[in-house]
Structure 1
């Protein structure tokens, strides 16, 4: 109930004086006066009545707030007013002024100070469990406790801060303890335990109140949970990580032991006793799957296992050879490949970067893979030193191996490495554009001419190395057998598979013809050559001569 305080009305009196020996025809005017009681103190939201006395009577009163919080219903016109002290956050002062106008238009004013005392009501803390949806909670549910229903009973009050604290129970990883909601993951427990929490809330006037909340954390049926990680799809030669670090045990610690399961694709695990370990995805010809099992054991000798499947796909190495470069460089020196500053170098990618992991049909430096063949195109051992042609196991092409020391040009054998030819090719009996016939018995032993086609015809007629489809290689085919990492300074072909290369006798270069005509917009008189000494290419006049290495498909 609101308190009412009635102030007594004080009546002022006015005295009218008369002169002793004189008289006036007009009566004297009475001055106006008003009086309000002394200052008062009132509690917020309480009611109080204030009265004013004035003279002469029957005038008009006018009350107004001149400072402090606003009062509902003001200004008012009455000799007596009732006010309800406002709801304030802190002690406040209101000053009221009352003005009085007498019937004779004389005026007077007075003021009163009202001290309003703040009376804060403490907030009401409340805790509600809002997750999980299905109760009771169990491992590994996320548990949420909310203080959102906490309240401040003051009409214009509000809860402004929260402080949580765990008082008892197992160690929990709690979220921010100063928010209206906290959460944690239900732990793995060997025995049922009780977790107890306290919540302290503060309102906007500094009032604090606390409450407590208890909940049961259930024991688990499986005291060790093994987690081998997610299934993966990787590419052969990738470094693959096996990760069991998300496993848990009631003791909080455990050991790991990895093993490969039921696969004829052998894998070498780097450290079988490490919870996070790696292996190199093996070489595969087609997509394959391997499975791994991890056994998780805790100090209580409790254990569980889990398995994970890894799918391995072939690496897209393509049907072309790499460059033969397996080194990487900074601006000034050789560095380790896969450097984060100098990225995507030749040595970082392609067949050469995984050469040590590739299963080869034959042998060869870095990513190259060659097989030696005899005159019938039968395979020979890698150690054989006498062979007639070479099969590139990457591209499938078969390459001519030259003879040497058969004489002096033009008194040499047909396939002597020293023979050189003008660019002359024909198709269906017609010479290709720009072809130039070289004179017979000039730079080759042919009695017909020393154009490339004469060599092709002679070799095919002999069914050389089991085939009669020998031809001049394309630019990319010839480029594919150049090993730019071969650094003897004499040639860029591996002499183990391509012996008998002539010395750089043609303009101090080892020029070899390709089928690629150079189209410069004016003529078709040049074709591209590749220099087996430097690796450079050049548009070269077809009338000039260059060496030839023939190729065929199986």
Structure 2
């Protein structure tokens, strides 16, 4: 054993140059490491690492580091040297130094390095030009005098340095046809120009060049076909679809134009393309009206605007109008049929100002001759006259004392001239012992005038019910809404009410012409007590609150039968 040990020691000393006479001997590492061979890879490639190590005592663990340290090394286990990383995107070749350190269980360690050269491999960017298309024309074909926008924003770079800005520059140029790029920006993602107006059809060519973040570039070229001036059709818009009731006015607001001077003027023709037969007022005008036909269920009328230019190019556009049966409601219309523009009010259709009162409702249906009534009345109002015992009066020569509103079902008092209980000249203060807003009013105000002992609303109601006007005994003061339903706001003078059926509404001296409503007003209280009540002025159509001691007229109402 001693001999063997001596022999080994002698061999070691000889191998280390022990006979040189030097006292310093080189030291072998505790752990010997081999990181592998140097290699070169393309950017974005996956690089596999693996080394070897020996020496020390016990199990060996492995760790990789890199310089520069801007890469992420993936190592599943430290008990093995296997690892990998993805080569980054680079604009020039970069050398990475990878160090493998091995550490034994007894703390002994060693390391080795290799170099990985990442090669800059730049893929060319892709230029993409999106071309809008014109309905009714072949692909990439455009009318003359039309604005066109070519869009290169979808150009891309598969290995972009900056994913948020893969293309660093755009360059447009025209390669064919009449120059259309004067005073047009050529260095953005979009190119907008106007096609030329020429006697003959023509071709325009364009090229988009894109540059990526590594100064590589690529191009795409496109060709557009341009129609001649005589081939270029006008544009037309028939308007928007809408819904109306039978008998109402349909607004036909068409529009058409041509950018070709020689194509003008344009001619127009509105056509009815449905089984319904609405009458179009002026079919050769771009803006006109039609009367919605009578229907028993919802039906669709199709209106087509046909436009022809001086080259006989013809285009058309259509709208759908849903015509609904007119259902009876419990509200009167306003009587308004006139229409307003910016500077006038009259009977002319105002298609450019739609949605007015005079465009919709019973009044316009009456004007169009499509409103059926149970009785008679101006505009959309529908009344039936009743005699002194409540029977219907059809003969215009006979007198009547009450009127039934065939929409609301309410029955109204008709005022009389001269001195009588129902005289139009009588005025009353507002007075109610209940539902009075905290103050019952004045029983006999100084300004009120009538043939009763006390001229107030309650006294008048009681007197009329005692006599049984038109054979009814349940008369009352109307509510604000009920009274308002009588207003004929389409009149321009006189009392704003249907005077055919409500004669004697005023006397010559009355202005304003206030009639009391049942509701007290919250305006101007004293404490919690309402001092005022609502009234409507039939001279102007305005409402107001009057002090309850004021003298105003009364028109009684009752529920119908």
TM bucket normalised to smaller = 0.3 to 0.5
TM-score (norm 1): 0.46
TM-score (norm 2): 0.45
